[in-house]
């Protein structure tokens, strides 16, 4: 009876052991993934100077200390010759998109085309509008691609992307 009661309350030693083993397995698989990524090569993007400086000057507000810190960490990660493994987490309106824009500018300044993919068309469209507003004054073109884009508009967008428009924002249609 005591064991059944412990099981019902989640206090049985076997449940604790199972939870420990699941967490250990997860940690070991994450470690293996990190080691695998470290063995892969990625382009080392020099830390950008010109575009981020112009972007921040035109932004209309000063980035928070946290945005500046995370932006620098991401810039450092992108300057390394292995893939970045990073999750940026924050509340709505905490500035994650600004950090993503800074990362995009680093790739753009290094001569790469950048794609930003959002999980929904509404969010992708919000990002498209923001990136257009932020980047076009810097002379950086922004293209849009989503599942709802059909016909001639879709063909035009695909041609724009294939033609090298520097920044592309969209959904899984990318």
Q: Is residue 1's pLDDT more than 70?
A: no
According to the model, what pLDDT value does residue 169 have?
A: 97
- Count other C-beta atoms under 10 Å from residue 63's C-beta: 16
According to the model, what pLDDT value does residue 163 have?
A: 94
Please enumerate in sequence order all residues whose Cβ is within 8 A of that of 45, keeping only pairs 6 or more positions apart, or say none: 78, 79, 106, 107, 110, 112
- Of 128, 73, 125, 67, nearest to 99 by C-alpha is 67
According to the model, what pLDDT value does residue 39 have?
A: 86
Q: How much of the chain, in percent, has pLDDT values that exceed 90?
A: 72
According to the model, what pLDDT value does residue 133 have?
A: 96
According to the model, what pLDDT value does residue 56 have?
A: 92
Q: What's the DSSP call for residue 59? A: S
Distance of CA 125 to the CA centre of its chain: 16
**pLDDT tens digits for range 57-96:** 999 888 989 999 999 999 999 999 998 888 899 888 888 9
According to the model, what pLDDT value does residue 2 have?
A: 66
**pLDDT tens digits for range 111-167:** 999 999 999 999 999 999 999 999 999 999 999 999 998 999 999 999 999 999 999
Which residue stretches of the chain are H helix? 2-9, 13-39, 50-58, 65-78, 96-109, 121-135, 151-162
**pLDDT tens digits for range 8-46:** 888 888 899 999 999 999 999 999 988 888 888 999 999
Helices 121-135 and 50-58 sit at what angle, rounded to 10 degrees? Answer: 100
According to the model, what pLDDT value does residue 128 have?
A: 96
According to the model, what pLDDT value does residue 11 have?
A: 85
């Amino acid at each position: 009876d005591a064991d059944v009661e412990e099981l019902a309350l989640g206090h049985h030693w076997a449940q604790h052991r199972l939870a420990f083993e699941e967490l250990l397995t997860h940690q070991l698989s994450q470690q293996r993934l990190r080691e695998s990524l470290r063995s892969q090569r990625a382009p080392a993007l020099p830390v950008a100077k010109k575009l981020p400086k112009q972007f921040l000057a035109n932004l209309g507000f000063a980035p928070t200390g946290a945005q500046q810190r995370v932006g620098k960490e991401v810039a450092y990660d992108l300057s390394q010759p292995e893939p970045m493994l990073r999750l940026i987490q924050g509340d709505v309106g905490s500035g994650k998109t600004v950090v993503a824009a800074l990362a995009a500018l680093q790739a753009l300044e290094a001569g790469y085309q950048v794609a930003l993919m959002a999980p929904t068309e509404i969010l992708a469209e919000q990002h498209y509008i923001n990136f257009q507003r932020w980047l076009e004054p810097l002379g950086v073109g922004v293209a849009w691609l989503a599942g709802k884009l059909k016909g001639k508009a879709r063909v035009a967008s695909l041609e724009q992307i294939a033609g090298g428009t520097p920044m592309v924002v969209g959904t899984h249609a990318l």
